[in-house]
Amino acid sequence: MATLVVELTDLYKSYREGKRTRRVLAGTDLRLEQGEFVLLVGRSGSGKSTLLNLISGIDQPDKGKVVVDGADLTGQSEHDRTLFRRRRISFVYQFFNLVPHLSVWENVMLPLELEGRLSSTLLARGQQLLASVGLADRADSYPDRLSGGEQQRVAIARSLVSDPVILLADEPTGNLDEESGRQILDLINRLVREAGHTVLMVTHGREAEPYADRILTLCDGRIGIA
């Protein structure tokens, strides 16, 4: 029986825009199992990034339940959600979000540094990931010396170094050319399949569809099957 990693139940989320209220999610349900690569597509503004923020505990729903790795995030304080996110959830964004004054190696290890978890085992994991993304020889370089594709490779290694229960990818190829984007998707797919991670990737394009186990749509606040 597959392990359920994410369970979203009857989620509602609205935002105030001036004098108006805009409903983004309206009774959204989602189940993600361990090891799944799930693609969520939808037009810009449909609520895809909002959904990622709710899964990660960055934001809270107006109504409904968010359970990740057995933990009900809707029942936790902001402090506890932050600690949970650092330990169990990772992100890859369209913009690489590397720290410019840190080297490639320091950027990769930053999540563990923040948690004080720099054991010999995790140091070895960082070295292995850097080699897996093809940048072992650039460990001492700084982000401004790397191409966009190389910076995204560093971001991927950083996102996986803490062995997350789920990787949330928000338009990870949106800032890359077509060939670099394909290489990044190949890399994410290979690394997460090897490690058995769950992936939820959101995009408004179709380039990631060949990699997905399931393709879902987000429209009018609800998730459907593509």
Per-domain boundaries in the chain: 35-61+78-225
Q: Which of 94, 93, 124 is nearest to 109 (CA)?
A: 124
Confidence (pLDDT) at 145:
95
Higher pLDDT, 100 or 75: 100
By residue count, the chain amounts to 226
- At residue 83, does pLDDT exceed 80? yes
- What are the distances in angstroms from CA 185 to CA 53, 153, 200, 223? 22, 10, 13, 23
Confidence (pLDDT) at 206:
82
- CATH for 35-61+78-225, among 1.20.1050.10, 3.40.309.10, 3.40.50.300, 1.10.3730.10? 3.40.50.300
The pair of structure tokens assigned to 214 is 């399931």
- At residue 213, does pLDDT exceed 90? yes
- At residue 226, does pLDDT exceed 80? no
Structural contact between residues 13 and 24, judged by C-beta atoms closer than 8 angstroms? yes
Higher pLDDT, 38 or 46: 38
Confidence (pLDDT) at 29:
94
- At residue 2, does pLDDT exceed 80? no
- At residue 54, does pLDDT exceed 80? yes
pTM for the model stands at 0.92
Confidence (pLDDT) at 116:
75
Confidence (pLDDT) at 6:
96
Q: What is the average pLDDT across 20-48?
A: 90
pLDDT band at 69 (very low <50, low <70, confident <90, very high): very high
Percent of the chain at pLDDT > 90 equals 68
pLDDT band at 1 (very low <50, low <70, confident <90, very high): low
- At residue 177, does pLDDT exceed 70? yes
First to last CA, the chain: 25
Measured in whole angstroms, how far is the alpha carbon of residue 41 from the centre of its chain? 15
- At residue 118, does pLDDT exceed 90? no
Structural contact between residues 49 and 170, judged by C-beta atoms closer than 8 angstroms? yes
- Report the mean per-residue pLDDT for the chain: 91
Confidence (pLDDT) at 120:
80
Structural contact between residues 170 and 91, judged by C-beta atoms closer than 8 angstroms? yes
